[in-house]
């Protein structure tokens, strides 16, 4: 049986990844310290024979008896509200945590998949963003705790690839949404949906002209699963996201419409260094693994609204 470690397994993306690997018959060891995740996200996995959970902070090294084949390092707060609340934890998990998981990968000669982010492009001057774009990041701004630790982790991962010929793959994930996002997560999708369901004003930051592209979590997981199980991708950096780009103001109107809400829109200050544009160029990953998102925004939102509604009740 192939043994996979998923750090951040009790989080939004990590728990969906664990579902996929467990259902496909892999032996999954999930690690999490519950900084931003919850046991509820993995409750359906806890009684499965091929799933093990270890409560552990990955900034401390961990020794496991079994041979590990694949490591997916996904532990890290991802919502701007979360990483601004936990700036040092964020810097540690994507520096010391990345180092610890890369070392574990080296000891086991395991394939290593690092969860990077579109944030490494900062406030991009190129749209859409291809992997070859170097980015425009404010290296000491508020958001730098996230952007720069991801950039450091990318550099560290590539150094392990070059120095030790480790089988490293980096996925640069763009805004992803779906069930298991927390109601109070702070990201735009759960914020707008919970506001709309409560008939409260939707809070658009700035004028709402900034853009984002939203990928449904099932599509993202499909891409990561394929990348984890395809040979000869060593040293590749790949964007994963949905290239359909929306202005945030238009997105607010879509949510009001989809939820049949009486909510209005209110404008609040734009957070510091909020990127004005974000859209993935996915041609590289399309040609490497023939992946592209399959879920329409309409269907993805329907599932997400259903989930968040159940949490409100
Ligand atoms: P999340 O906050 O829901 O999950 C992160 C998980 O990591 C949580 O369960 C948290 O408790 C755990 N964690 C944090 N620090 C830890 C530590 N030191 N030791 C062990 N566990 C720790 O976030 P998410 O949306 O699921 O994001 C998962 C990964 O994907 C992150 O690396 C994030 O940067 C990346 N990513 C996500 C998105 C997105 O839109 N969701 C976009 C780009 C990148
Ligand atoms: N945003 C907003 N209202 C909210 C939450 C977010 O207008 O209640 C905006 C935010 O300023 C950003 C975009 O929506 O431009 C996406 O924000 P999110 O926090 O989801 O992720 P980001 O892409 O900034 O990491």
All residue ranges of the chain with pLDDT < 70 are none
**pLDDT score for 212:** 98
In this predicted model, what pLDDT tens digit does every residue of 125-144 receive, in sequence order? 999 999 999 999 999 999 99
Of the chain, the end-to-end C-alpha distance in Å amounts to: 41
In this predicted model, what pLDDT tens digit does every residue of 61-80 receive, in sequence order? 999 999 999 999 999 999 99
Q: Is 175 in the pocket of ligand 2 (CB under 6 A)?
A: yes
Centroid of ligand 2 to alpha carbon of 61 (angstroms): 34
Tokens 């998990």 correspond to: 93
**pLDDT score for 287:** 97
Query: Could you identify the atom of ligand 1 that is nearest to the CA of residue 10?
Result: 9
Q: Which residues pair with 31 in a beta bridge?
A: 7, 54
- Return all residues near 148 (Cβ < 8 A) that are at least 6 apart: 91, 137, 139
- Helix, strand, coil percent content, the chain, rounded in steps of 5: 40, 20, 40
**pLDDT score for 207:** 98
CA distances from 16 to 39, 78, 84, 225, 285 (A): 13, 15, 24, 11, 20
Where does ligand 1 bind, in terms of residues with CB under 6 Å?
A: 7-8, 10-14, 31-37, 57-59, 74-78, 82, 89, 93, 97, 115, 117, 173, 175-176
Ligand 1, atom 12, residue with closest C-alpha? 8
- Which ligand is nearest the CA of 78, by number? 1
Among 66, 68, 70, 86, which Cα is nearest to 78's? 86
What tokens appear for 240 in the block? 């994963």
- Which ligand is nearest the CA of 9, by number? 1
**pLDDT score for 57:** 98
The domain made up of 3-175+216-241+277-294 has a fold known as: Rossmann fold (3.40.50)
Query: Could you identify the atom of ligand 1 that is nearest to the CA of residue 73?
Result: 32
Length of the chain as a residue count: 313
- Which ligand is nearest the CA of 154, by number? 1
Among 265, 192, 256, 228, which Cα is nearest to 70's? 228
- Return all residues near 287 (Cβ < 8 A) that are at least 6 apart: none
């Amino acid at each position: 049986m192939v043994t996979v470690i998923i750090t951040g397994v009790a989080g939004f993306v990590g728990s969906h990844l664990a579902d996929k690997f467990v259902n496909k018959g892999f032996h999954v060891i999930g690690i999490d310290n519950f900084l931003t995740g919850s046991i509820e996200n993995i409750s359906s996995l806890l009684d499965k024979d091929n799933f093990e959970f270890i409560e552990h902070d990955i900034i401390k090294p961990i020794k496991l008896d079994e041979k590990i084949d694949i490591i997916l390092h996904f532990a890290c707060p991802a919502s701007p509200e979360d990483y601004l609340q936990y700036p040092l934890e964020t810097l540690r998990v994507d520096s010391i945590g990345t180092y610890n998981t890369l070392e574990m990968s080296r000891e086991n000669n395991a394939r290593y998949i690092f969860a990077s982010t579109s944030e490494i492009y900062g406030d991009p001057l190129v749209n859409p963003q291809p992997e070859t774009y170097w980015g425009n990041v404010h290296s000491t701004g508020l958001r730098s705790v996230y952007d720069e630790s991801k950039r450091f982790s990318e550099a560290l991962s590539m150094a392990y690839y070059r120095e030790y010929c480790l089988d490293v793959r980096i996925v640069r994930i763009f805004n992803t949404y779906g069930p298991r996002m927390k109601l109070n997560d702070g990201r735009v999708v759960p914020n707008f949906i919970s506001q709309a369901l409560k008939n409260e004003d939707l809070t658009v930051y700035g004028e709402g002209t900034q853009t984002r592209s939203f990928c449904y979590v099932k599509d993202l997981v499909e891409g990561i699963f394929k990348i984890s199980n395809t040979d000869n991708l060593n040293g590749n950096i790949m964007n994963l996201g949905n290239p359909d780009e929306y202005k945030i103001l238009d997105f607010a109107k879509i949510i009001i419409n989809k939820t049949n809400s009486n909510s209005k829109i209110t404008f609040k200050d734009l957070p510091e260094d909020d990127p004005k544009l974000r859209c993935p160029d996915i041609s590289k990953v399309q040609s490497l693994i023939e992946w592209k998102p399959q879920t329409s925004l309409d269907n993805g939102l329907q599932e997400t609204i259903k989930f968040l509604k159940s949490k409100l009740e």
